[in-house]
Amino acid sequence: MTTIPVTPGVEARRITTDRLTTRVLFTGPEDGIPVLFLHGNVSCATWWERTMLRLPPGYRGIALDQRGYGECDAAAVVDATLGLADMAEDAVGLMDHLGIDRFHVSGNSLGGNIVWRLLMDHPDRVLGATQAGPGSPYGFGATKGLDGEPIWDDYAGSGGGVINRELVRLLGEGDDTATHPMSPRSAIRMLVWGPGVIPDWEDDLIAATMATRVGDDGYPGDWVESPNWPHFAPGVTGASNGLSPKYLADPQRLIDADPKPPILWIRGAADLAINDPAASDPANLGHHGLIPGYPGPEIYPPQPMLGQTRAVLERYAAAGGEYREEVIPDAAHVPFITNPKAYDEAFHAFLAGH
């Protein structure tokens, strides 16, 4: 079992629900208004600790290590074919275990995709949803246009094969240095913090990252060969495969949700991980010669992740929902870590208003 550092003021408990056993972090009064935090890929609950500590008085911060990450039980494997539904049900199962009926929820990246699913399956449980750099409701890779049209029938270009294999190797070997350009620390500095930004608690955040379970049953999961460029298609295990549009629920379910909780979409102005195009989008990599044989944008265009999210949220609003998009300057993929003052201003106002 990995021992992940915990920030003073954060309480860590090991909790067993009817779905899994995992580490859960808490801040604030037990009777406070609950805010559930869902972390992104290759991280864990640790990444939300300081955001939880900065919650206004009267709020209860709650964050769990999701399956495959941190100190979650290794027996809990993501069934990608459920389209992240098992991770959404883990979150609801935790809140049931804690006796909490309704709550705010905040997700980052992968965690944002889990929030999309929560809003589809359990909208009556959610007071409000804060999406910090969330993935597109259509998932990562293999779609084009604002309506998420599949490029190939087998969704080649999405799933576990998207992840850089050198990064996976170094993560599995426990390389927590910045010596190699594709080490986890180097990749996070480039794609997550943003150029020239290093949080003062980076070592704790990297320690949390290094607790990621690596392999076919974890990160990045499995994949299969495809006759279609870039010649890999999604497998069936791991959250990265769960992010494939092959498995994710139709975003129309979000638009049809009843009730429709208010949504705050916060993103960093310099986010390279979720962008139009994203840095690791296969089309972007192919365009730059990093994946050979790129067939060109006429056949495989970059995925407009921000445009897809905005288009879905506009339809959500037209159907009676409410959303606001907030762009945080001087921040990349995790604005709550790299520009906390600007992030909290928008986040806390949203909490107070709902």
Domains recognised in the chain with CATH numbers: 11-353 (3.40.50.1820)
Which tops the pLDDT comparison, 230 or 2?
A: 230
Residue 194 pLDDT grade (very low, low, confident, very high; cuts 50, 70, 90) = confident
Judge whether residue 113 has pLDDT over 50: yes
Judge whether residue 2 has pLDDT over 80: no
For residues 83-90, give the mean pLDDT. 98
Q: Is the alpha carbon torsion for 312, 314, 316, 319 positive or negative?
A: negative
How many beta carbons lie within 10 A of that of residue 312, not counting itself?
A: 22
- The strand order across the sheet containing 323-328 reads 11-16, 21-27, 59-64, 33-38, 103-109, 126-134, 263-268, 323-328
Judge whether residue 1 has pLDDT over 70: no
